[in-house]
Copies of this chain bind each other. A is one copy, B any other.
Amino acid sequence: MMKGVPKMLLVSVALLAWACSLASAYDPSPLQDFCVAINDTSSDHAVFVNGKFCKDPKLATANDFFFSGLDTPRDTSNPLGSNVTLLNVDKILGLNTLGISLARIDFAPYGLNPPHIHPRGTEILVVLEGTLLVGFVTSNPDNRFFSKVLYAGDVFVFPIGLIHFQFNVGKTNAVAFAGLSSQNPGLITIANAVFGSNPPINPDVLAKAFQLDRNVVNYLQKKF
């Protein structure tokens, strides 16, 4: 089939595959059995779509749907004492278009997965070991706080788009697994997004919004 096609054209086609393989995007509900994302290893992207470009389904293998090593404890020696390993479509390319992802969360004693939002996913979490104080806050005007202390074998649901957190209130490490209802649920850590944005938000805005002294805001903006 490729006979008679000038070599330069073939080079260009290979290039197209390469260039498109630079693209990154995540797509809605599946319109075929699967649509394995093309690996996104370059930072010099050219063209994107809503979701991800896919590779030839004929070239898909079982490894596209596979990930290894989620049984290994993660390093929690950081200020918050927690570590989230999220297997989204960037980590398991076969998840593209399929609307789900999986996370492992490790907590040191008193480790915190701080208040955050998944703009595109609900989370269902099961505790494997340890004791977690968890909770979410509803939207205005009530801002009701739903909270629970979880032990091994306990399950809790954090609805899409609501602020939530998990806090290890035990004296030992804690581990949890969580399913999320999107191949790319997104993550907005409140403190980082508000006080650590790049470039920083006008400090007057934050001082007024959080009723903080401007010096405190400046201090926080340096920290995050």
Contact = CB atoms under 8 A, between A and B. Distances in A.
For the complex formed by this chain, how many copies does it contain in all?
6
How many A residues touch the partner, as a band? Answer: 35 or more
Contacts of A196: 143
A46 B50 contact: no
Given A17-B19, A32-B186, A100-B123, 10 more contacts: A30-B159, A47-B55, A50-B51, A80-B208, A87-B155, A100-B181, A140-B186, A145-B199, A161-B161, A167-B204
A170 to B, nearest CB: 13
A98 B26 CA distance: 14
B27 A205 contact: no
Contact of A99 (B19, B62, B122, B128): B122
A135 B176 CA distance: 26
Interface in A88-112: 92, 94-102, 112
Interface of A: 1-2, 8-9, 11-21, 24-35, 38, 42-51, 53-58, 60-63, 65-72, 80, 87, 92, 94-102, 112, 114-115, 117, 119-124, 126, 128, 133, 135, 137-140, 142-148, 152-163, 165, 167, 177-184, 186-202, 204-206, 208-212, 216, 220, 223-224
